[in-house]
Amino acid sequence: MAVYTGPVQDLVDELGKLPGIGPKSAQRIAFHLLKLPRDDALRLAQVITEAKARVSWCERCFNVASEALCDICRDDRRDPSVICVVEEPRDVVAVEKTREYKGRYHVLGGAMNPLEGVGAEQLRVRELLARLADEAVTEVILCTNPNVEGETTALYLAKMLQDVPIKVTRIASGLPVGGDLEYADELTLGRAIEGRRTV
């Protein structure tokens, strides 16, 4: 039903294509943008254009980068002997926020999902193997999500790397800090018990 005048409908339609934005939110954001002072609304258009023009992918690890290599790959204080393998650039941010990790990354660009036709060929697995051959890497941390796709991907990579003389580790699954035993699902609690450590 074409209730909106042309450009408004276009705006609602494009906003509705964004992840997590339903029709109601798209409408709300569209009218918010229409109500905003001109410059404030155009700033959003500008940063989108700017980001698409200036941001690309790091040639080495496929993190977001505004030069050939990303900020982390260019930082020579980072330990080049450890590679943390993640699914997406946003996972790099999540790991960085812990301030626990000083190595480098490798962004796969997703996780294996046979139902959606995503196999190892669709991910940057070949590029990871090339790095392991070229760089002096001693440990690979498999830091994919602890869900079905992420676990499948981690298992696949672990199997693929079993003959390479490199330590391959997987991040721990268990109860979240501040969590409650009573409310934990059996799988998570099972993993927490399985992964118990001596105190």
- What token pair was written down for 194? 């399985």
Minimum gap (Å) between residue 196 Cβ and its own copies: 31
Minimum gap (Å) between residue 136 Cβ and its own copies: 26
Please name which of 136, 147, 173, 143 lies closest in space to residue 158, comparing C-alpha atoms. Answer: 143
**Stretches 16-24, 138-146, 179-187, 188-196: which one binds its own copies (CB under 8 A)?**
16-24
61 binds its own copies per the rule CB under 8 A: no
- Nearer to its own copies by Cβ, of 7 and 190: the residue is 7
Q: Phi and psi (nearest 5°) for 84?
A: -100, 115
23 binds its own copies per the rule CB under 8 A: no
End-to-end Cα distance, the chain: 64
- What token pair was written down for 127? 């590029």
Distance between CA 9 and CA 4 in Å, rounded? 5
- Nearer to its own copies by Cβ, of 15 and 184: the residue is 15
**Stretches 49-57, 132-140, 142-150, 155-163: which one binds its own copies (CB under 8 A)?**
49-57
Please name which of 164, 108, 159 lies closest in space to residue 136, comparing C-alpha atoms. Answer: 164
65 binds its own copies per the rule CB under 8 A: yes
CB 108 within 8 A of CB 133: no
Q: Tell me which of 77, 97, 196, 197 binds its own copies, using CB under 8 A.
A: 97
Bridge-based pairing of strands 56-57 and 139-142 is unpaired
176 binds its own copies per the rule CB under 8 A: no
Q: Tell me which of 31, 118, 158, 188 binds its own copies, using CB under 8 A.
A: 31
Distance between CA 155 and CA 148 in Å, rounded? 11
Binding positions for its own copies, rule: CB under 8 A: 1, 3-8, 10-11, 13-15, 17-21, 25, 27-34, 38, 41-52, 54-55, 64-66, 70-71, 88-90, 92-93, 96-97
